[in-house]
Chain A
């Protein structure tokens, strides 16, 4: 079973700064099946990125995904106030999720 480890656990940044979130897999898999989700308090997760680098419908272009093999990255180029939230990666071949990264206001 693939295990996804997200780092850091918490990222403290200011609006306008760049956020870089990491998702590392215990074994290599196709980037076709890597997704990122955003979750705000009291809300269901929202799909941001699929296939490692494809933005879902309606997702702003400040969100980008990259990576392959075992190392994947979600980048938010310039943080907007509404971007402070929890972020999860998922290998949707197995449906398993990483533990999450919280992006908080510094």
Chain B
């Protein structure tokens, strides 16, 4: 069965960086985009960006341009999201989610369990 398993909770100081991983199983990793979505406590869903695991191509929401980097390792079917220059308002649960299939747009049909990132001095 399709699974996306994320790395564990992180506590970071302001100004630091965090890197969250998302390991995919149960499907062909290179056939579907991986997206990253975050959710601050009590807030809505905020899309951050995507990666095509086959090509390595990425796209980022304007709000996060310059601060987020999404990468992948096809040898271990894992995508990564690194967010730099952390601020207190980056405290949120970060999710990975499976998206586009090859060239066909599709909704986010499978999600990771979420990773809580806390930014605090």
Chain A interfacial positions (CB closer than 8 Å to B) = 32-33, 35, 37, 39, 44-47, 50, 56, 88, 90, 92-93, 95-100
A-B residue pair count with CB separations less than 8 angstroms? 53
Count of chain B residues with a beta carbon within 8 Å of a chain A beta carbon: 20
Interface mask (B25-39 → A, CB under 8 Å = 1, otherwise 0): 000000000010100
Main secondary structure on B side of the interface with A:
loop
A97-B47 in contact (CB<8A): yes
B46-A56 in contact (CB<8A): no
Task: Show 21 residue pairs from A and B whose CB-CB distance is below 8 angstroms, ordered by the A residue.
Answer: A37-B45, A37-B108, A39-B45, A44-B95, A44-B97, A44-B111, A45-B97, A45-B108, A46-B111, A47-B108, A50-B107, A56-B107, A56-B109, A88-B44, A90-B108, A92-B99, A93-B105, A95-B47, A95-B99, A97-B46, A100-B44
Q: Which residue of A lies closest to B110 (CB)?
A: A47
Given A35-B107, A56-B109: A45 and B45 interface contact (C-beta under 8 Å):
yes
B50 within 8 A of A: yes
